[in-house]
Structures are given as C-alpha cells and as structure tokens.
Chains A and B, each alone.
Chain A
Amino acid sequence: MNQVLTEHYAKHLESVPGMYAGSRDSSLVPEVVRAVGAWAVDGDILNFLVSTNLSTKFLANIRDNKEVTFVAANVMGYETFQYKGKYISDSPADESDNNIHNQYAKGFGELVAQIGIDADRYTKSHSIPPFTRVTFKVSEIFDQSPKIKAGEQVSGIQNKREDSTPILMK
C-alpha cells in the first residue's frame, strides 16, 4: 500500500504551520475551526488538536458524516498542503497531547514574533483549553502553496487530479 503521509508532509507538520480544519453538516453547510497542534502517524493517519469549546459543531459534523479536511501553511515560506480523509475518532486531550500543544504554541509564537506579532496575545486568542484530539485517515493531499498550479493533488489513493484549474495569468 502506498504511503500517503510521506516524510515530507510529516516534517511540514512539524514546522509549526498555521492550521485549520473543515467539516460539513447533513445540509452541506461547512464549518471551520483553528487547529493547535498536529502530527502524522503510520503513513496515512493524521492527529490534530482543536479547542473543544470552539469546535462543538465541527466535532458533531465529523462524528456524523466522517468527512474531515485539514490545511497547514508555513508561516514564512507559504508552503501549504490540504489533507482530505475520513474521521476515525476523537477524545479529550491527555497529558501527552497537551504537551504537544504546548510545544506547538511555543514554536508558533516564536515564528509569528519574527514578523512583529505579539506572540503571547495571539496564541491566547485561539489556544483555548480544553482541547480535543481528532484522528483521521488521510486519502488525498493537495498542494495549495500560492502558485500557478495551486490545488494539484500530490499524494493519495485516488487518481491524481487538480482541485483548481489554473488560468493564463497574462
């Protein structure tokens, strides 16, 4: 079986990117939440943390219909990947998860401080405990880095396709 989450994507997640996740309800109304820590496991499993109290509808949606989408973008280099897959489980963050969150918050704060953002106040705005760990199986990865071919599928079990149709820029 092909590995979807190769080392390149695992390292990208370790580079403390900005992260969000999306879901949708039974009427196809989307929801978006901020993620505050993520890590890859076992080739196609991705874990991420969300603030539980800011994610009530997001969590209800993924428990109901299993559809999970996640995006991570480098603060400095803009390299961005979108991960699509199916919900496996969620659970209250344990001590290990909270340690991962703390490392993420510290690293992310150090990065945004370099571009003049008040790291402590920014982190407090979206890192609101308690946290929930979401686990999902990634089936497709798309390169969303800002460039002409943004949206191209770069990994996954389906036939490679493009999520965007670039146009001639000139």
Chain B
Amino acid sequence: MSIENLKTIPSNMMPALQGIIPTCMTTCSTDGIPNVTYISQVWYVDEKHLAISCQFFNKTTRNVRANPPAAVITTCPETFAMWRVHMRFSRSETSGRLYEDMATQLEAIASMVGMQDVFRLISADVYEVDSVEVLYPGSKAV
C-alpha cells in the first residue's frame, strides 16, 4: 500500500478544518519526549501554511518554540478523507486579521461546547507545511 504525498494543502481538506472531527497534534520536546494533544482549531492560511490556536502556555507551545516540527491528523467530516500533515512552527501572531478571525471562530466553538471560560485565544501559531500524506482518500455517501 503506497501513501500519496503532497507538498501543499489540497482544497478538499478545507471541510476538515471546521473542527467537526477533532484534529490531533504531536510535537516533541528537546529531550525527546513526544506530546500528543487534541487541538481546538486549525486554520487555513494559504496552501503552504496552517495556523493552530494557542489557548494555554502548554507543552505543545513550549515544544514547538524549542523544536519546531509537528504532525497533525485531520479528517473531513463529509468524505472522511484523512490526512497527516508534517509542518514546522514558523511564527506567533497576537494581533491582526488572522488573530481576530481565529478568535472569533474560537468564541463560536467555545459557545457551542459551553467552554467560554476555557477557550480563549492567546495567539495564532502559524506553521509552514512540509508534506501532506493522504492516509485515506475519502468515500461518497451511498
């Protein structure tokens, strides 16, 4: 079985970034311990960049600032196509259009799940995409 490998984010991944099926992310500390966590929000920036919501100064935040590579798995809620994205932390934004747009969407997500006091955007962390593996190409409803 061969896995298709892409260099950019495919357009059919967009529904997977709505947060209906949670995305999971792995990072690694400088002493070699992997960290796996669910993330609330993944945002399409352009075909080579994704942004992740930073809500806590947590292990993921610390890891990528010291060791930038990260990997996420994201799933389309319509076709159930599944991708594994390898990327690296690029920069953190705490103001501007991207930050404001992500903060607005995060407020909506928090409201839906009743976690307004927990979900609060500290920064929009932007990652540069290295590769996108197509783990499952998706299927159509019968």
Considering the chains assembled together, what is the distance between the CA atoms of A73 and B1 in angstroms? 29
B63 CB to closest chain A CB (Å) equals 9
Given contacts A24-B34, A32-B71, 20 further A-B contacts (CB under 8 A): A22-B34, A24-B26, A24-B28, A29-B28, A30-B69, A32-B25, A53-B3, A54-B135, A65-B32, A67-B33, A69-B33, A71-B36, A78-B113, A117-B77, A122-B80, A124-B80, A125-B139, A126-B135, A144-B38, A165-B58
Asked if A166 is at the interface of the complex by the 8 Å CB criterion, the answer is yes
**A111 CA to B39 CA, complexed, in Å:** 20
- Assuming the contacts A65-B32, A69-B35, asked whether A125 and B59 have C-beta atoms less than 8 A apart, the reply is no
Residues of A bordering B, CB below 8 Å: 18, 20-24, 28-34, 53-54, 65, 67-71, 73, 78, 80, 82, 84, 117-118, 121-122, 124-126, 128, 144, 146-148, 150-151, 163-167, 169-170
- In the complex, which of the residues A80, A118, A167 contacts B56, with contact meaning CB atoms closer than 8 Å? A167
Neighbouring B residues of A150 by C-beta, 8 Å: 56, 58, 118
Given known A29-B69, A84-B33, A121-B139, contact A163–B59 (CB-CB < 8 A): yes
CB contacts under 8 Å to A, within B3-18, are 3
- For A84, the chain B residues whose CB sits under 8 A away are 33-34
Chain A residues with CB under 8 Å of B82's CB are 34, 125-126
Chain B residues near A34: list those with CB within 8 A.
Answer: 24, 73, 82
8 A Cβ contacts from B38-74 to A: 38, 40, 56-59, 67, 69-73
Q: How many angstroms from the CA of A53 to the CA of B1 in the assembled complex?
A: 7
Contacts of B113 in A (CB 8 A): 78, 146
Pick from A65, A73, A167: contact of B122, CB under 8 Å? A167
Q: How far is the CA of A82 from the CA of B25 in the complex (A)?
A: 12
Q: Which residue of B57, B72, B117 is within 8 Å of A164 (Cβ)?
A: B57
Contact: A128 with B58, CB < 8 Å? no
Query: Closest approach, in angstroms, between the C-beta of B135 and any C-beta of chain A?
Result: 5
The answer, among A32, A78, A148, A165, for a CB contact under 8 Å with B26, is A32
> Of B3, B37, B86, B117, which is in contact with the most chain A CB atoms at under 10 Å from its CB?
B37
- Contacting pair B24 A126 (CB below 8 A): no
Query: What are the residues of chain A within 8 A of B56 when measuring CB–CB?
Result: 150-151, 164-167
The distance from the CB of B104 to the nearest CB of chain A, in whole angstroms, is: 17
**Is B21 part of the contact surface with A, judged by Cβ < 8 Å?**
yes
Give the residue of B21, B58, B69, B119 whose beta carbon is less than 8 angstroms from that of A117. B21
- B residues within 8 A CB of A29? 28, 69, 71, 86
Q: Report B-chain residues with C-beta under 8 Å of the C-beta of A65.
A: 32
Contact A125–B36 (Cβ < 8 Å) = no
Given A147-B118, A148-B118: A28 and B32 within 8 A (CB)? yes
Let me know if A32 and B38 touch, CB within 8 A: no
